[in-house]
Chain A
């Protein structure tokens, strides 16, 4: 490494941010009505959300539009698959950390099959063979270990998050084999290219859904907040419904209030 001191400084900064956000989250647990998100920094979050919307309008959306216009759909799908294949080591690690042996075996098989028969992950023959994709990350592992989500945060560029998922992101970054390799050979170009490509791919992949949310919402900020929090809650329990073990924060938990209930939420 050329400049170990600078690197350490940066690491210190990142861990400083993580610690601060955890502390902030700790302060923020006040009792609230059931239908309100834990969002004590809403003012700041809305400002960052606005900034991200500008970034999207100026860079990401045009890039995704071009990407969709220039590349034929099979190529787009191939790139999407290849990027997903690159993240299987992180999924495998977190499957293991959560004690999910069956899912870890699936992830391992997917990586072996798709990296070889699937030609560096561009194809996804593993899915056809019954090894279906799933996602894991260290934020989910922390949740499985018992960490709460804490206050809602909107990060510049990265978007919706919370203290737990910020820590998760940082750990994911440093445990990713490609990033470790890039650090060792001092090649920052690879991780940066990969991040930019992933961002464009994700924006293009969910293009219609994202435009739909922006156009059809009365308040896109709170719509995205609800989507993110619910989606994470569902990912953490691996998409298992109420049959296995009902999570109290899950919307389709039978014990949670739902439309058709007469007792509206005033008491909760």
Chain B
């Protein structure tokens, strides 16, 4: 008869063995690959047909939340200041973070609408059955050298696949954003409210720039 303790130990160790099981992990890498490929194909197709203006931004926000775990990214980007933030600051920050990403990146992708860019997944590296890196190449018609983009894909608590980081030519966007935000907070005496103010100003400024552009 197994003692209760050794039963738990066995259950635990088998759980560990299972969770690091390479067959499972391989499958997750394959899942992540097809997730990135179909997400990118859909996103590129929508950018191509997107109109300018507020509709575009709305569509971009939908695509963003569809493919990315924006809250997890926002939380991580705040780094060690996350715990220092008050609860209402956290909520306000996460909302502003999403707005900021929508405004900056929908602007960034403006140049891609209409042009024939393609993304092809090249390989994936799997850590375990809920964490993998998918490597891909983006080809643009105006340049002969492809851009190498890596996607960190994780499975969320409700078993959805989401991208949590994008690494462009070796530069992690989350990491870059994080060091920028931490610098802004440091320069406002370690206060998260300083970052919140800066995000508000920047987002409003860029949104009005975008409106001016489309108004012309």
A residues sitting closer than 8 Å to B (CB atoms) are: 33, 35-37, 73, 124, 127, 132-133, 208, 212, 215-219, 221-223, 225-227, 230-231, 233-235, 239, 241-243, 251-252, 254, 257-261, 264-266
Contact = CB atoms under 8 A, between A and B. Distances in A.
Nearest to A243: B125
A226 B179 CA distance: 7
Given A212-B108, A223-B176, A264-B76, 17 more contacts: A36-B179, A132-B145, A133-B145, A215-B206, A218-B181, A218-B198, A219-B183, A222-B184, A227-B171, A231-B171, A233-B170, A239-B169, A254-B133, A258-B164, A258-B165, A259-B77, A259-B152
10 contacts: A33-B79, A36-B179, A124-B144, A215-B206, A218-B181, A226-B175, A230-B172, A235-B170, A259-B73, A264-B79
B179 A222 contact: yes
A252 B152 contact: yes
Given A258-B164, A260-B69, A35 B184 contact: no
Contact of B131 (A36, A208, A218, A254): A254
B75 A219 contact: no
A216 B183 CA distance: 15
Q: How large is the interface on B (under 10, 10 to 19, 20 to 34, 35 or more residues)?
A: 35 or more
B104 interface: yes
Grouping DSSP codes into helix (H, G, I), strand (E, B) and loop, the A interface class, with mixed when no group exceeds half, is: loop
Interface of B: 69, 72-73, 75-77, 79-80, 82-83, 104, 107-108, 111, 123, 125, 127, 131, 133, 135, 142, 144-145, 148, 150, 152, 154, 156, 162, 164-165, 167, 169-172, 174-176, 178-184, 187, 195, 198-199, 202, 206
Nearest to B187: A219
B176 A226 contact: yes
Given A127-B144, A252-B172, A266 B83 contact: yes
A230 B171 contact: yes
A241 B80 contact: no
A132 B135 CA distance: 18
Contacts of A257: 76
Contacts of B80: 33, 35, 264-266
Contact of B75 (A212, A215, A227, A264): A264
A216 to B, nearest CB: 4
B163 to A, nearest CB: 9
Given A241-B125, A259-B75, A218 B133 contact: no
Given A225-B179, A235-B170, A251-B175, A216 B79 contact: no
Nearest to B183: A222
Contacts of B107: 216
A254 B165 CA distance: 12
Nearest to A220: B180
A260 B77 CA distance: 11
B199 to A, nearest CB: 7
